Amino acid sequence: MGLRRKKARTLLTLLSVAMAFALFGLLDAVRVAFTAPQNLAGIDRLVVTSRFSIIQPLPFAQLNRIRAVPGVRRIAWANWFGGIYQDPKNFFPTIAVSPQPFLDIHSEIVLSAAERQAFVATRTGAIVGAALAERFGWKPGDRIPLQATIFPTRDGGIVWMLDLVGIFHAAQPELRGMEQQLFFNYAYVDEAREFGQGTVGWYIVQVDDPAHVDRIALTIDRLFANSSDETKSQSERDFQLSFAKQIGDIGLIVTAIMGAVFFALILLTGNTMAQAIRDRIPELAVLKTIGFTRHLILSIVLAESMLLLMLGGAAGLVLARLSLPVLSAASGGQFDLPMAAQTWWVGLALALAIGLAVGLPPALRAMRLGIVDALSGR
């Protein structure tokens, strides 16, 4: 009833609420993308990095000692290459890997048998995800000149010529983000780079039983304790999280931004509700006069406030849901931003809570309204 009284004010408030909740939906999707467990595909995998920093290389000599740890089924190795294609803005993950064990361990990377064979057999071979291939129009047989940002070649050049031997797909839709990556042969890098021979960025260890992940991680780290190359072994999910945390604590950033947004929203809608009730004091007095009880008046005002926030909140979340595929596409699929069910529930619960918080003070005021004073305009 009161919401229709000043339609422009209600509409503008609704838009403010919708924008705040759209922002919440988007940021929470980012948080989920960075922090949620990716998939069951990696639950039997450990990532072994330097204990001190993810960018500190590990000696290749550790390989056989790790492989000998009981419970280790397979081991692959990888090195962040940090290459760019043609232009610095064409940045995407480029990682040098050990082709055979890498593909054996990562069953979620889907390649044809021929492409798989070509990748293993070709020293300069590379495979790219379908989304990345589509982005640059690549097809098998193309030569990709990759510019190094970390590793120049021994002759001082920065261009690494790669032969595209396969285009892979992710085994599951939720892993589509990996289709933005380029993998190429570690042996080629290690042989031709100017420095860093005999080192790897990290080892990827597949264990015989996911239940043994923690025990095996501890065993590996103890193996190299007090050496010059101490290791930090963690589950693949923890590794991804720590990788994301290089950008910052995403959860904290999202919480801080949303805290500021919702604080502003509470002030804005609180002011709007207070003004709306001030405008309607004579009407509320009439309702009380004709027999609406104090609690009924309280309920009416609270319901209006919560309805306003729920409508705006739901509209904002829907807007976020519709925007996420667009944003994912804009990132070239690099970030798959799903709208988790939890985001919906938390968003709607927040809308309800804010509606209650901003509605309660004017509702109490309306409930306590003295009829005689209100009718006489005092």
Partner 1 sequence: MSALIEIRDVSKSYERGRQRIEVLHRIDLDVPPGDFLALMGPSGSGKTTLLNMIAGIDTPSEGSITVAGRRIDTLSATELARWRAAHVGFVFQFYNLLPMLTAQKNVELPLLLTRLSAAQRRHNARIALELVGLGDRIAHRPGELSGGQQQRVAIARAIVSDPTLLVCDEPTGDLDRHSAEEVLTLLQRLNREYGKTMIMVTHDPRAAEFARRVLHLDKGSLVDAGASA
Give how many residues touch partner 1 by CB under 8 A. Answer: 19
Candidate ranges 69-77, 109-117, 223-231, 290-298; the one touching partner 1 (CB under 8 A)? 290-298
DSSP letters, 180-219, are G-EEEEHHHHHHHBSS-TTEESEEEEEES-GGGHHHHHHH
Strand partners, 51: none
Of 297, 301, 307, 302, nearest in space to 367 by CA:
297
| Nearest approach, Cβ of residue 4 and partner 1 (Å) | 5
Binding mask 231-270 for partner 1 (x = CB under 8 A): ----------------------------------------
Candidate ranges 34-42, 61-69, 283-291, 301-309; the one touching partner 1 (CB under 8 A)? 283-291
Of 274, 93, 79, nearest in space to 190 by CA:
79
Residue 141 or residue 291: which is nearer to partner 1 going by CB?
291
- Among 293, 322, 329, 349, contact with partner 1 (rule: CB under 8 A): 293
- Among 92, 288, 306, 313, contact with partner 1 (rule: CB under 8 A): 288
| Nearest approach, Cβ of residue 241 and partner 1 (Å) | 53
Q: Does 294 help bind partner 1 (rule: CB under 8 A)?
A: yes
Residue 39 or residue 299: which is nearer to partner 1 going by CB?
299
The CB-side HSE value for 272 (13 A sphere, CA atoms) comes to 28
Candidate ranges 30-38, 120-128, 232-240, 279-287; the one touching partner 1 (CB under 8 A)? 279-287
DSSP state of 242: H
Q: Does 283 help bind partner 1 (rule: CB under 8 A)?
A: yes
Q: Does 371 help bind partner 1 (rule: CB under 8 A)?
A: yes
Q: Does 375 help bind partner 1 (rule: CB under 8 A)?
A: yes
Please give the distance of CA 254 from its chain centroid, rounded to a whole number: 11
Encode 307-345: b = buried (16+ Cβ within 10 Å), e = exposed: ebbbbbbbbbbbbbbebbeeebeeebbbbbbbbbeebbe
- Among 17, 29, 146, 287, contact with partner 1 (rule: CB under 8 A): 287
| Nearest approach, Cβ of residue 375 and partner 1 (Å) | 7
- Among 84, 286, 310, 352, contact with partner 1 (rule: CB under 8 A): 286
Q: Does 31 help bind partner 1 (rule: CB under 8 A)?
A: no
Cβ-Cβ contacts under 8 Å for 65 (sequence gap 6 or more)? 223, 224
Q: Does 291 help bind partner 1 (rule: CB under 8 A)?
A: yes
Spatial distance between the Cα atoms of 122 and 133, rounded to a whole number of angstroms: 19
| Nearest approach, Cβ of residue 18 and partner 1 (Å) | 23
| Nearest approach, Cβ of residue 5 and partner 1 (Å) | 5
What's the token pair of residue 4? 């229709």
Q: Does 278 help bind partner 1 (rule: CB under 8 A)?
A: no
Determine the 3-state secondary structure of 99 from DSSP. helix
H-state helical runs in the chain: 7-35, 62-67, 99-105, 113-121, 130-136, 186-192, 213-223, 236-244, 250-279, 281-289, 294-330, 341-367, 371-375
Binding site for partner 1 (CB under 8 A): 1, 4-5, 282-283, 285-295, 371-372, 375
